[in-house]
Amino acid sequence: MKLNRIFASMVAASAMLSTGAMAADGTITFAGTVTASACTAVAGVSVGGGAPAVNQTITLPAVPAPALNVASGTYLGHTAFQIQLTGCAAVGALANVRAVFDTPFAPAGDAYVAGNTAPSGAAYVAVAILTSGGTQIDMNCGTSLATSYTLPSTSGAINMDFVAAYKSLSTSVTAGPVAGTANYTISYF
């Protein structure tokens, strides 16, 4: 009888610990290639033809609040800048490159711009990044992406052109300092 209890306990324990029977319905095989970067260096951000730096401050010109209050979504203070890459060449299937932007400080109501983080700063204004043609590039995985550039077949430089600008978030922009932060990642595809 004691032996039956031990056997029953073992059967019960193994049933509780069992993960059940599983059978694979198919197999997925993954294949890929790790390549050297399509560009050997990110020279950095250059403003007004100045020396590039990986971390750069872009100073926007002063603009009057009433000019931003014409309509929500008004852009002013357009300032051109470049992200410069060197030693770029197409590698395997990697034939294009673009910059992808994100910001940890997106304002409420517009997740695609850099919110104003200046102490006692202007209200209802943010900093947007635009294409050189004036179209806003969405930060934080929005659908409006930066222009892509074709990687050269042999090693060369790529200068990606952008514009930073103030963007009004309402028609109630107030005067004050503006500061914003955007991170950039170079994406090859």
- Which pair of structure tokens corresponds to residue 128? 């947007």
DSSP 91: B
Separation CA 167–CA 86 (nearest Å): 31
How do residues 119-162 score in pLDDT, each as one tens digit?
999 999 999 999 999 999 999 999 999 999 999 999 999 999 99
Q: What is the pLDDT of residues 27-62, one digit of tens each?
A: 677 777 666 668 888 888 989 888 898 999 999 999
Q: Give residue 81's pLDDT band: very low, low, confident or very high (50, 70, 90).
A: very high
Residue 55 burial (CB < 10 Å; 0-12/13-18/19+)? exposed
Ordered by where they begin, the domains of the chain are: 37-188 (2.60.40.1090)
pLDDT at 21: 63
Q: What is the DSSP letter of 16?
A: H
